[in-house]
Amino acid sequence: MKIAGCIIQKKNIISYSEHLFEARYKNRYIYISDDHGFGHAVSRELIRYNIEVCGDDGLYDVDTVKDLPTIEDAIKYALEGACLIPSPTHRNNRSL
């Protein structure tokens, strides 16, 4: 599976649907779900996702709730938050 330039091998994907994504990538466990107790998104076009990225050392790189349009956007947000892919703001600041 390729998302935002990252290739996550199928053997490392535990679950992938429009409501849930679980995978291992670069010594991290990624968990994204819309089944949680954190309320509803601020608008009807968005879905509220619980996003967690935890390293093998037990420390969380990302532990947040975010309103996004699709689970693919939530996966990209998780990868950027865990610094596994460059975020757009970091790409623009390279020349500084």
pLDDT in tens, 27-69: 999 999 999 989 888 999 999 999 999 999 999 999 999 999 9
Q: Which residues of 39-66 are buried (b: 16+ CB within 10 A; e: fewer)?
A: eebeeeeebbbbbbbbeeeeeebbeeeb
pLDDT exceeds 60 at position 83: yes
Q: Predicted confidence band at 5 (pLDDT cuts at 50, 70, 90)?
A: confident
Q: How many Å apart are CA 21 and CA 43, to the nearest integer?
A: 22
Tell me the two tokens of residue 42.
């601020």
Q: What is the pTM of this model?
A: 0.86
pLDDT exceeds 50 at position 96: no
